[in-house]
Amino acid sequence: MSIFTITATDPHSRARAGVVRTPHGDVPTPVFMPVGTRGTVKSLSPRELREHGATIILGNTYHLYLQPGHELIARHGGLHGFASWDGPMLTDSGGFQVFSLIYGGISNEIKGRRPQRANPMQGMVKVTEDAVIFKSYLDGSRHTFTPERSIQIQHGLGADIIVCFDELPPFHATYKYTRQSMDRTHRWAVRCLTAHRERDTEQLPNPGQSLFGIVHGGVFPDLRRASAEYLATMGFDGFCIGGSLGGDKPQMYDVVDMTVPHMPDGMARHLLGVGDIDDLLEGVARGIDMFDCVSPTRLGRHATALVRRDEEQGSRRWKLNVLNASMRDDRNPLQPGCTCETCRTYSRAYIHHLFKANEILGIRLVSLHNIAFLLNLMREVRAAIIAGRFGEMYADWLGKPL
């Protein structure tokens, strides 16, 4: 039985509302999940996340494997017990981080930026048919990830949803290489599924884990279709759209458009590593149910608050630099009308002061607001779909018809 149930659909797009069922509770969708890379959403406590509406968070297999290690985490009850988070969790496979060591700057490619200097970590990874061999960024020690090893590590971490280990090619890869990479990812998917099914549930902190496959194929429509249709026959519990998503936002939307129609309707769809406001709305309109991204807390560390300013165009309309001189004596909250703790309690002037004084509280307050802003946005999206008003909300936020 699928862990995902659709509860409402939008008649004018592929948007849908639903529920993902996990051993630690239900997750209403569409949903944005804050990223807790090393077992913590940077600077925020589990209590703060719960109080501001987080229903699921993401942990990073690569980083948690290297420090403190999945065996230790398993002994402490998995990530749920170790991090004192009692809600649903998802872990990625570690593939993105491992392959980023090869290509460098992959996280920037979706925004059309290429790395300006050679990545010092290049040359620290070797890819074979069986595995990926890499050196730790912490101490240079040598490690090997096979599909089976990634699944074993994720079993120890104990997240409710785990993800297949995959190969990540750069967005500028040729059709030939992308096809070869996709085929290898498919072979690894078979091995991941086998390892997951053969697990010893009595020895695991969370025996009820679900496994998501990852659809690949780069920017090529025939490969995206082939990958989606192949994985749909294998018995996964849900699917991610991964691999190269293109060189800019329009190309990413094209990739989603060429992929979703070939994915099973009755299963959850997760768009990996995406969290900009326009991308969330565009993704939902194209049938995506789940999103994750580090951007809310990364922006918080760089004194940037998520806001809605209709009078401005482009990406700037969503962002407020609290270091601007105009913030120095501004009594307003970061976002008028926002009900997060930061906006209920503190002024822009105070937060401006905290960053000028290099006080850590400034990072915490803006990060908390940014997380709450996106969680609230997705709650509004879900409510709009259920009420039949998603097209109105889309046009209101993006300034264009659905």
How far apart CA 166 and CA 181 sit, in angstroms, is 9
DSSP state of 251: H
* Pick from 55, 85, 41, 48: nearest CA to 379: 55
- DSSP secondary structure of 190-223: HHHHHHHHT--GGGSS-TT-EEEEEE--TT-HHH
Question: CA–CA distance from 154 to each of 3, 79, 98, 157 (Å)?
Answer: 19, 10, 15, 5
Q: List active site positions.
A: 92, 292
Element (H, E) at 21: strand 16-22
Instruction: Decide if 256 contacts 283 (C-beta within 8 A).
Output: yes
Q: Phi first, then psi: what are they for 24, rounded to 5°?
A: -110, 20
Token reading at 53: 């509406």
How far apart CA 340 and CA 45 sit, in angstroms, is 14
Strand partners, 58: 35, 90
Angle between helices 360-387 and 348-356 (to 10 degrees): 140
Question: What CA dihedral angle connects 324, 327, 329 and 334, to 10 degrees?
Answer: -170
